[in-house]
Amino acid sequence: MTARKELLISAAVVVLFAFGPWLSPLLHLDVSIVSEVLVTAIAVMSVNLLLGYTGLPAFGNAAYFGLGAYGAALSVTYGHVHFIEAVLIGMVAALLGGLILGPFLLRRRGIYFGLLSIAFGQVFYFIAYRYTDVTGGEDGMQIARPYAGLPSAHVTVTDLGFYYTALVIFVIALFAFRTIVRSPFGRTLIAIRQNEPRVRYLGLNTDRFIFVALLISATMAGLSGALFGLLINFAYPLELDWHQSGYFVLSMILGGAGTVWGSLVGAFIYVIGKDIISTITQWWQIFLGALFVVCVLGFPRGILGTLQALRRRAAQQFADDDAHV
Amino acid sequence: MSRPRLSRRSFVTLAGAGSAAAVFGIPAYIPRIGEAADSIKIGLLEPYTGVYAGPAENETHGFEMAADAWNKRGGIMGRKIELVKEDEQNDAGVAAQKARKLINQDKVAALVGTVSSGVSLSVAGVAATTGTLFMDSGGHSDDVTGKSCHWNVFRTCHSTWMETHATGYALQKRFGKKWFFITPDYAYGHSLEAGFKDVLAHNGGSVVGNELTPLGTTDFSSYLTKIDAAKPDLVLVFVQGDDYTNCLKQMNQFGLLKKYPVGGPQVELEPLFGLPPEARGGYWGIEWYYKSEKTLGKNNKVAQQFVADTLKRTGGKPPTARNAFGYITLDRLAQAMNDAKSVDPVKVARAIENVHFTSIFAGSAYYRKEDHQLMWPMWVAKIRPNGTPGDKYDLFDVTDINAAEAVEQTIAQKQAVCKLGYPS
Amino acid sequence: MIEHLGPQLFNGIVLGAFYAIVALGLSLIMNLTGTINMAHGSFMTLAGYLAYSMVLRHVPFGWALILAPLFAVVVGVVVERTLVRPLYKREPFYSLLMTFGLSLMAEEAFRLIWGPNGVPFSPPASLAGAASLGFMQFPTFRIFIVGVLVIAIAALAMFLTRTRFGLRLRAAVQDSEMIAALGTNTQLLYAVNFSLGIFLAGIAGVLAAGMLGLSPTSGNALLMPAFVTVIIGGMGSLFGSIVGGLLVGIAISMTTLFIPAASEVAMYVLMAIVLLVRPRGLFGEEGIFG
């Protein structure tokens, strides 16, 4: 796909989302659920970076997501900070988490990496649950939505205001993601996924690349978590549980691992699909489980990945824009 | 094999695409079922999936029965009540989003429901931000009427403080002062611990053992083996739901139920049904019961009708406290809207406060103005392991009744932490 | 505190025996095909519910203990054939995700069939009491569990070492390509292996239902300890699963004695340590998962 065509399609998608608040009621959806799609897409991007591009099973990203949410929650409740500061503090909290866990996670690859991620994630989950005085325990923490803008101004963030803030942040995050994966750094990550020993033979320190990828992933997940906390005005321990990590991975697979827009597609299907189906029927969990099963068996490349593969097969050309699974 | 076959991959892809189209398209072409133009919509949030699915169903029965009763009489101000149900999945995030959907898209006049305290608090937060009325039927945390109280949040079931104080004094009278706690190591457990310690402080008792069981404990054997050495007068079990069933089953298998009296702040019929009869026993706080004069009052026709209707509706399963929570909540909400002749949240809230009423329980009650807690009696009961002849559900032998004011914190205590914040 | 040491240790061993049965099933399934079965807990719960329904219809407990797992195996065979087999060629994490989805469906199905509340299931009167062991009273049923484990291990060991099928199974774990080349029906082998694992899950499920409670969400709680056990004991080693189970059981009961708050987290910390220091676990084989 040419750069121009890509730009046009991207712009079209952004414009479509800009009309979100007016389009969503047609599907009987609230604007806040579309905000949730955008926020979740950032978390899915963080998983995509590790799993889709670098090939590491990232099953513990919920820990960073939760750190972001609680970082924002604590800073708003005790520090009385404003919107942007809360988000930044959440990101820093998640980044710190990544710095602490990173050296340990680096030592393993493959499924061991995945299991280690789960183990660490569960430890964080227990901490959030246990230290009731700080985190509110299983009752969670209410977050009064802080004001936006400069400290002197007091701009209330309405649901609509939040939506557009989330959209802007998402576009920035997506652009950053795209830049990262198309850069030499990103290429190296793809190479690591395809054959790590070979990359090492070429003289590159793969550990360093993976560590940076981990930190970026953690920070993005933290950004997502902080935004989510400010969206629902709440932070709670379940956000850190490995099931949550599993849902991020599912969304990534649904949308397309190793594609730039796959995260948004996957987040959209998962968040909105779950919302609609759970409104229609009490037995929605059967459908969600079935979706997992069908997706893993039938199209592991996800929607975008499958589309790209079909296109590639049709045009008989090498795609040098996205990594394919 | 030259005959072209639909490969599994293609079939699955087609099926997936087809389903996706159907799913996303559905809301557009099927209107919300039962949309009557002139109805009053009430949003009902319950955890229909997850560990609290049982209580959720029972609360829903109660809500629906109250709505039906009102609709038979013509509705509120002549408008029918329509319950719009959403599954909050026992997840605070989902609950907040569903609450927003109900308020903004379904345009509900009020929100009701929830079972777990975390979810109640999350929904209360959304209600506070949007100025929508929320009546918490089943979440027990003190904070809902304490530090997180709000002018548009009310609570029907008893608070954690009421639970500990209603049972604490009664148990101490019966069994003595050396207590052994089995406490789930998180917020709810800690607040129960604090409540019972408060009771002991007043009467000079002591805690001879306090086993904190972390989240996810399925095997209590390590904690139970310490009971013998502590020689308590009474073992108090604070764990709930599935954990309660596990713990008591294991206590029975270790022969502890025969050796020590056991009790706790609250038990519900739902987890008891999951316990084999030999593991049932002890004295527990209960929030309502379908078959006792102490809980229903003498000759309370409304209560008797409620029980009979529920038995018919569920095919023989009697109402539990959860049914009662749902019924009372919607009944009073509808009454307040009718009295106020309005669905405006401020007017309705004022119409709920401090109005004394009788309902499906003994005596009268009111939602206290200062913290919006329903002040109704709390009872203590002894468990009958096998029910009574002819009724295997008749598990409670109600022994004590406590007036709400005697077991809940005083107005002064509550006002120290709760600021309702009515809009001026 | 020291007077608690004996009972706690004994308790830990019995608990460990239980985890060992669960881990054995999980390990069997993992070793041959690299399938990570997140639905193992669901199969356990299924067998528990089936046993409950049987006992309700006056089937003796002993028969239910064998029949319920067999029915679970029937379901397992169908699942293996249709859902698990296509994933053998892919990386393990696909089976992890797929079986996770399966467990979600199973939970809802249990709610639909047997209701959202727990159901009362207890061991028969003969096993229900507490035996006096001198230093403590101990539930007879838990001693029964240890007995079942011993029999299960003996039976499994005999099957694997003394029968030709068992021999082929062990050979396939070492090198499935070679054994296929030698003419063995690998498809059948995979199916039988999976069934064995599910049978063990079923037995564990019926025992768990007797010891703990039985509700749609029962399976979840037991899944993680089982995984931790397999990792500690070593993926690829059945003996490791047994030892790992005992270690996890003892670790949990000992931590409860000294630092109760940490007892459930201790499991994950242990898992992390093992993964970092010696990922193949105590008895695992190098290169199972690269």
**Which of A29, A141, A232 is the best residue to mutate to test the B interface, defined by the most B CB atoms within 10 Å of its own CB?**
A232
**Long-range contact set of residues C159-165: C-beta below 8 Å, sequence gap at least 24:** C159/C196, C160/C238, C165/C192
In a mutational test of the B interface, the residue from C107, C117, C252 whose CB has the highest number of chain B CBs within 10 Å is: C117
Provide the phi-psi class of C255: left if phi over 0, else alpha when psi is between -120 and 50, else beta: alpha
Nearest CA in chain A to B190: A132
Contact A296 C261 (CB under 8 A): no
Q: Which of A125, A138, A231, A310 to mutate to test the interface with B (most CBs of B within 10 A)?
A: A138
Q: What sign does the dihedral A257-A263-A267-A273 (CA atoms) show?
A: negative
Of A314, A22, A310, A322, residue with least CA distance to A177: A322
Distance from CA of B50 to the nearest CA of C (A): 7
pLDDT at C235: 76
For the residues of C2-13, what is the DSSP string, one character each?
Answer: HHHHHHHHHHHH
**What's the gap in Å between the CA of A21 and the closest CA on chain C?**
32
Check whether C1 has a pLDDT greater than 80: no
Rounded to the nearest 5°, which phi and psi values hold at B382? -100, 140
How would you classify residue B395: left for phi > 0, otherwise alpha for psi between -120 and 50, otherwise beta?
alpha
From the CA of C217, how many Å to the nearest CA of chain B?
7
A→C contacts (Cβ < 8 Å), by residue, are: 57, 104, 107-112, 114-116, 119-120, 122-123, 126, 130, 246, 249-250, 253, 283, 285-286, 288-293, 296-297, 300
On whether any CB of chain A is under 8 Å from the CB of C268, the answer is yes
ipTM of the complex, rounded to two decimals? 0.90
Amino acid at B67: A
Nearest CA in chain A to B12: A298
pLDDT at A126: 87
| Contact between A293 and C87 using a beta-carbon 8 Å cutoff | no
**Chain C closest-CA separation from residue A2 CA (Å):** 33
Q: Which other chains touch chain A, taking contact as 3+ CB pairs less than 8 Å apart? A: B, C
Position A62 scores a pLDDT of: 96
pLDDT at C15: 85
A170-179 pLDDT, tens digit per residue, is 999 999 999 9
Any chain A CB within 8 A of the CB of C145?
no
Rounded CA separation C56/C64 (Å): 10
Chain B residues within an 8 Å CB radius of C250: none
**Rounded-to-integer distance, Cα B399 and Cα B383, Å:** 10
Q: Specify the 3-state DSSP secondary structure of C139.
A: strand
Q: Which of C8, C19, C212 to mutate against chain B (most B CBs within 10 Å)?
A: C212
DSSP H/E element including B124: helix B117-130
Mean pLDDT of A226-232: 95
Cβ–Cβ of B212/C214 closer than 8 Å?
no
Q: A239 and B24 in contact by Cβ < 8 A? A: no
Please state, in angstroms and rounded to a whole number, the distance separating the CA atoms of residues C113 and B257.
32
Q: What residues 8-47 of chain C have any CB closer than 8 A to a CB of chain A?
A: 36
Per-residue confidence (pLDDT) for residue B2, from 0 to 100 = 46
> H helices within chain A, ranges in order?
3-18, 20-23, 31-47, 61-79, 83-105, 110-130, 132-135, 159-182, 184-201, 206-232, 242-255, 262-280, 284-298, 302-315
**Structural fold of domain B36-158+295-373:** Rossmann fold (3.40.50)
Sort out which chain A residues have CB atoms less than 8 A from B114's CB and list them: none
Does the distance separating the beta carbons of C129 and B274 come in below 8 Å?
A: no
Tell whether B97 lies on the interface with A, counting CB pairs under 8 A. Answer: yes
pTM listed for this prediction: 0.89
From A23, which residue of chain B is nearest by alpha-carbon distance? B28
What does the pLDDT average to over A227-243? 93
Picking from C263, C265, C269 by the largest number of B CB atoms within 10 A of its own CB, the best residue to mutate is C263
Q: What is the pLDDT of residue B314?
A: 93
Q: CB contact, 8 Å: B249 with chain C?
A: yes
pLDDT tens figures, C97-109: 899 999 999 999 9
Q: Report chain B residues whose CB lies below 8 A from the CB of A166.
A: none
Which residues from chain A sit within 8 angstroms of residue B129, using beta carbons?
A: 145, 233
- Computed over every residue of chain A, the mean pLDDT equals 90
Cβ-defined contact of C101 to A126 (cutoff 8 Å): no
Contacting subunits of C (3+ beta carbon pairs below 8 A): A, B
Compute the count of residue pairs across chains A and B with CB atoms less than 8 Å apart: 140
- Write out chain B's pLDDT in tens, 424 residues: 444 454 555 555 565 566 666 666 555 544 444 445 689 999 999 999 888 999 999 999 999 999 999 999 999 999 999 999 999 999 999 999 999 999 999 999 999 999 999 999 999 999 998 999 999 999 999 999 999 999 999 999 999 999 999 999 889 888 988 999 999 887 888 889 999 999 998 888 899 999 888 877 778 888 888 898 889 999 999 998 888 888 998 898 888 998 999 999 999 998 898 888 888 999 999 999 999 999 999 999 999 999 999 999 999 999 999 999 999 999 999 999 999 999 999 999 999 999 999 999 999 999 999 999 999 999 999 999 999 998 999 999 999 999 999 999 999 999 999 999 888 6
- Interchain pair C262, B279: CB under 8 A: no
User: Measured between alpha carbons, how far is B378 from B286 in angstroms, rounded to an integer?
Assistant: 7
Return the residue of A nearest to C34 by Cα: A111
Q: Which CATH class is domain B161-286?
A: alpha beta
Q: Strand B153-155 and strand B133-136: pairing? A: parallel
Same fold for the pair B36-158+295-373 and B161-286: yes
Report whether A187 contacts A202 (CB < 8 A).
no
What is the pairing mode between strands B364-367 and B357-358? antiparallel
Burial category of B8 from C-beta neighbours within 10 Å (exposed 0-12, middle 13-18, buried 19 and up): exposed
Please write the tens of the pLDDT for every residue from A126-168: 888 888 888 888 888 988 888 887 666 777 888 899 999 999 9
> Which residues have C-beta within 8 Å of that of residue C38, sequence separation ≥ 6?
C96, C99, C100, C102, C103, C223
Contact (CB<8Å) C265/A104: no
- Residue C194 pLDDT: 94
C-alpha to C-alpha distance for C174 and C192, rounded to whole angstroms? 17
| C67-112 pLDDT, tens digit each | 999 999 999 999 999 999 999 888 888 888 899 999 999 999 999 9
Which of C55, C138, C227, C256 should be substituted to probe chain B, the one whose Cβ sees the most B Cβ atoms within 10 Å? C256
Distance from C-alpha of A148 to C-alpha of A169, rounded to nearest angstrom: 14
- The token pair at B271 is 């987890």
> How many CB contacts within 8 angstroms connect chain A with chain C?
97
CB contact under 8 A, B93 and A277: no
A299 φ/ψ sector (left φ>0, alpha ψ -120 to 50, else beta): beta
Mean pLDDT of A22-51: 94
What pLDDT score was predicted for residue C140? 85
Report domain extents, chain B. 36-158+295-373, 161-286
CB A218 within 8 A of CB A94: yes
Q: Which residues of C touch B216 (CB under 8 A)?
A: 221, 264
For residue A57, give the chain C residue with the closest CA: C93
Specify the CATH architecture of the domain A3-315.
Answer: Orthogonal Bundle (1.10)
Name the phi and psi angles at B224, rounded to 5: -70, -30
Domain residue ranges of chain A, discontinuous segments joined by +: 3-315
Beta carbons of C104 and A288 less than 8 Å apart = yes
CB contact under 8 A, B188 and A138: yes
What is the pLDDT, as a whole number, of residue B18? 64
Neighbouring subunits of B (3+ Cβ pairs under 8 A): A, C
Q: State the amino acid at position B179 in one-letter form.
A: W
Q: For the beta carbon of residue B357, count every other beta carbon within 10 angstroms.
A: 14
Q: Is the pLDDT of residue A314 over 70?
A: no
Q: Quick check: B316 contacting C, CB < 8 Å?
A: no
Does an H or E element contain A135, and which? helix A132-135
CA distance A278 to A1: 37
Residue C136 has pLDDT above 80, yes or no: no
Minimum distance, in Å, between the CA of residue A203 and any CA atom of chain B: 40
CA distance A147 to chain C (A): 38
